[in-house]
Amino acid sequence: MRSMFRTAIIALLVASARPAGAAAQVPAPAAVDSLRHAVVRLTARLDSLEAGACPTAPAVRLPTIAPGRDPAVDSLAAAVGALAARVEGAVAARCRPAAPPRVPADTADPLAAIRAAADSAAAEAGVPAAQDTTPTQFVGRQRNQSALNPEISATADVRLEVREDHEGPDFRLEEVELSFQSALDPYSHTKIFAGISEEGIEIEEGYLYWTGLPGRLRVDLGKFRQPVGDLNRWHLHALPESEYPLVYQRYLSEEGLAGIGLSLYSALPVSLAGGTHELYLQATASESDPLVAGGDLPLVLGRLQNFWQLSRSAYVQLGATGIVAENPDTSLTSDLIGVDLRFTIRPPEAGTRQDFTARAEGYRFHSDLDGEVATRYGAFADLQWRTSRRWVFGARYDYVEPPRGPNLAEWAVTPAITWWQSEFVYLRLEGQRHHDDLTGTLDRLTLQVVWAIGPHKHETY
């Protein structure tokens, strides 16, 4: 089509250069020359379009020719003008610069600002917007045999420990944990964690959960770690130290609190001071000697968790947990009330290379065992400072009173240095001074090595 335009223009120019009969006037040489130059420039713009590029020269300015002096010149000028309009229309349609993306005024994303500036400069220079040449990908949603397989992960935790009360170093495989996770259908998911140790195989967690239910509700059914404080849901290998805090061990169990039962979770449809608020309600049969002493009745747990984003780099989490339990066989009633606070600074520009976290949790444990009433307290404070992608420095202080019996308190100081070889492997050197009013003071030094395979390395919450 463009070749036809050019042929028509040349034919018009040739025709206008020949005499058109006795009555025809000879065209004005200056007007014909101007039109010829315009045709040359239009031809160059058409060549650029045919080559797949956009003309960089400005639009062709046609000469001003007074009509009525020569019909042949008038006809030629009209034809060139019509063709020029069509050429510029084609240029505008193909080479219209894309509007630079609008960057919100309140954004501080350096990459978005650089992209916006580049697009704006390109638009001002007349450079056409890049065309998306990514081919369309068609993805089949059918569930073939491979898609039905769960996501499988494994984590190993090996320790070398030196203690004052033990001759020589103690090597042990603390645990190998197998993880199986899968989306069962669009409505439900499952997680299963099996721990293998020298004592045997134990199902640490195995539960089914539904999401997207009315009222922003999530329902969990099975065995799961329960939301007490900030760390109880974390698995042992993912903790910032090698063991759970003493207050968890004394008021819940040696490995924290896990139970078999039903859990309801919802993000509340209210916001106080711009925060997010979550509510947990659970009824579980839990193996917790301090709370149920081997009883079969389920304990009831409630937790309110609040989250506030203070800035792009800092957030705070404040939670409150309450547990009530009963064992009629031993005339035991018990309850636990706790509050926890977490403050984290994680600059977005630092990614996973730098952050600082401070935690503090306090608990009140009350029990009545066959008329013997006891009210005891425990707490811990924990600091974690990641100075680079590889190094994390931390320390924790624990204090706890026994849940029942003579009030002989314990405290411990646990500093630790963790070196992350990669996201799959980390090594931790940890010391601890533990004091018990009954047995005295004991020092311990532990080298912990943890490695993982699969998509879920070190699951935290």
Q: pLDDT grade, residue 101 (50/70/90)?
A: low
Q: What is the pLDDT of residue 384?
A: 97
For the chain, the average pLDDT equals: 85
Dist CA 459 CA 167 (whole Å): 35
End-to-end alpha carbon distance in the chain: 65
Is 113 part of a structural domain of the chain? Answer: no
- Domain tally for the chain? 2
Q: What DSSP letter does each residue of 211-271 carry, written as one string? A: EEEGGGEEEEEEEEE---TTTTTS-GGGSSSSS--HHHHHHT-TT--EEEEEEEEEE-S--
Q: Residue 108's pLDDT band (boundaries 50, 70, 90)?
A: low
**22 band by pLDDT with thresholds 50, 70 and 90:** very low
Q: What is the pLDDT of residue 17?
A: 44
Domain boundary among 53, 71, 95: 95
pLDDT at residue 58, as a whole number: 79
Query: Confidence band (pLDDT; 50, 70, 90) for 158?
Result: very high
Q: Which domain holds residue 412?
A: 152-453
The three-class DSSP label of residue 186 is coil
167 CB contacts (<8 Å, ≥6 apart)?
A: none
Question: Under 8 Å CB-to-CB from 309, ≥6 apart: which residues?
Answer: 274, 315
Taking only Cα atoms into account, the Rg of the chain, rounded to an integer number of angstroms, comes to 38
- Where does a domain end: 95, 123, 138? 95
Percent of the chain at pLDDT exceeding 90: 56
Q: Are residues 215 and 339 in the same domain?
A: yes
Q: What angle do CA 231, 236, 240 make, to 5 degrees?
A: 60
What is the per-residue pLDDT for 258? 96
The answer to whether 344 touches 315, Cβ cutoff 8 Å, is: yes
Q: Average the pLDDT over 227-236 and give the result.
A: 95
* Sign for the pseudo-dihedral over CA of 239, 243, 249, 253: positive
Is 203 found in the same domain as 293? yes
Report the candidate in 207, 203, 249, 198 with the shortest Cα–Cα distance to residue 228.
249
**In the predicted structure, residue 241 carries a pLDDT above the cut 50:** yes
Q: How far apart (Å, rounded) are the C-alpha atoms in residues 85 and 88?
A: 5
Q: What average pLDDT does this structure show over 91-98?
A: 70
Residue 395 confidence (pLDDT): 98
Residue 460's pLDDT band (cuts 50, 70, 90) = low
User: Are 300 and 436 found together in one domain?
Assistant: yes
Does residue 137 lie within any of the structural domains?
no
Does residue 258 sit in the same domain as residue 336? yes
Structure tokens at 51: 């080559």
146 confidence band (pLDDT: 50, 70, 90): low
Please list the residues that pair with 203 across neighbouring strands: 194
Confidence of residue 134 (pLDDT cuts 50, 70, 90): low
Lowest-confidence pick of 60-74, 283-297, 364-378:
60-74
325 plus 180 within the same structural domain: yes
Instruction: For residue 448, name the pLDDT band (cuts at 50, 70, 90).
Output: very high
Residue 143 belongs to some domain of the structure: no
pLDDT beyond 60 at 373:
yes
Are residues 157 and 52 part of one domain?
A: no
Give the predicted TM-score (pTM) of the model.
Answer: 0.69
Q: Are residues 345 and 252 in the same domain?
A: yes
Q: What is the CATH number of the domain that holds 167?
A: 2.40.160.10
Q: Is residue 292 part of a domain?
A: yes
The 3-class secondary structure across 63-122, one letter per residue, is: CCCCCCCCHHHHHHHHHHHHHHHHHHHHHHHHHCCCCCCCCCCCCCCHHHHHHHHHHHHH
Segment 131-146 shows an average pLDDT of 59
| CA of residue 53 relative to chain centroid, distance | 41
User: Is the pLDDT score of 16 beyond 50?
Assistant: no
Does the residue 105 lie in any domain? no
Residues 432 and 353 in one domain: yes
Residue 176 lies in a domain: yes
Select from 30, 62, 95 the last residue of a domain. Answer: 95
Whether the pLDDT of residue 68 is over 70: the answer is no
Asked whether residue 126 is assigned to any structural domain, the reply reads no
Query: Tens of pLDDT along 180-230?
Result: 999 999 899 999 999 999 889 999 999 999 998 988 899 999 999 999 999
Reference 338, options 306, 304, 309, 308; nearest CA is 304
Task: Looking at the structure, tell me whether residues 175 and 300 fall in a common domain.
Answer: yes
Assigned domain for 122 exists? no
Ranges assigned E (strand) in 287-409 = 299-309, 314-327, 332-345, 355-369, 372-386, 391-400
Of the ranges 5-19, 58-72, 139-153, 288-302, the best mean pLDDT one: 288-302
> Is the same domain home to 199 and 300?
yes
Q: What are the tens digits of pLDDT across the range 290-344?
A: 999 888 899 999 999 999 999 999 999 999 999 999 998 889 999 999 999 999 9
Task: Answer yes or no: are the C-beta atoms of 340 and 319 closer than 8 Å.
Answer: yes
Q: What is the pLDDT of residue 250?
A: 97
Count of Cβ atoms closer than 10 Å to residue 266 Cβ:
16
Question: Residues 267-285: what's their mean pLDDT?
Answer: 95
The residue type at 199: E
